[in-house]
């Protein structure tokens, strides 16, 4: 193992949340304002997951006062406190960029209904 791989192995989080594209999530994110630090929740639809390893990111989209807002979060960042899955989505694509053009009910993703046996342990 070379030096770069050793540093990356240290920075990867041990307990990663289990979520997929199409899920509605609430991301608790640390915000630093001057000397104070607080945790802000960002809730929305996961429209993309990119890369693997330490550089893995996911994009969350929400509507705020009628305007679509997207934010990219690094999964292994120390600023990401936790990711809570609020709702599982039923999708057939890896990237949901087409949601950007949809308005109203067309921008919704159907909920994935799974039996008790299929639910992964978290």
Domains of the chain, residue spans = 13-100
pLDDT band for 69, please (50, 70, 90 cuts).
very high
CA distances from 37 to 28, 29, 43 (A): 13, 10, 19
On the question of pLDDT at 122 being above 60, the answer is no
Residue 121: predicted pLDDT: 57
Residue identified by tokens 């067309």 is: 106
Q: Summarize the confidence of residues 62-87 as an average pLDDT.
A: 91
What is the Cα–Cα distance from 105 to 16, expressed in whole angstroms?
A: 31
CA distances from 50 to 30, 57, 72 (A): 22, 5, 10
Stated pTM of the model = 0.82
Q: Summarize the confidence of residues 102-108 as an average pLDDT.
A: 84
* CATH fold for the domain made of 13-100: SH3 type barrels. (2.30.30)
CB neighbours of residue 75 within 10 Å? 21
């Amino acid at each position: 193992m070379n030096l770069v791989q050793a540093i990356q192995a240290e920075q990867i989080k041990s307990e990663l949340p289990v979520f997929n594209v199409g899920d509605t999530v609430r991301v608790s994110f640390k915000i630093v304002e001057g000397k104070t630090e607080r945790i802000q929740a960002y809730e929305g639809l996961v429209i993309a997951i990119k890369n693997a390893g330490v550089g893995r990111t996911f994009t969350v989209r929400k509507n705020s006062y009628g305007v679509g807002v997207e934010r990219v979060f690094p999964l292994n960042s120390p600023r990401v406190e936790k990711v809570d899955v609020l709702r599982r989505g039923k999708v057939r694509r890896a990237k949901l960029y087409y949601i950007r053009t949809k308005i109203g009910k067309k921008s919704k993703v159907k909920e994935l209904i799974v039996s008790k046996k299929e639910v992964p342990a978290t």
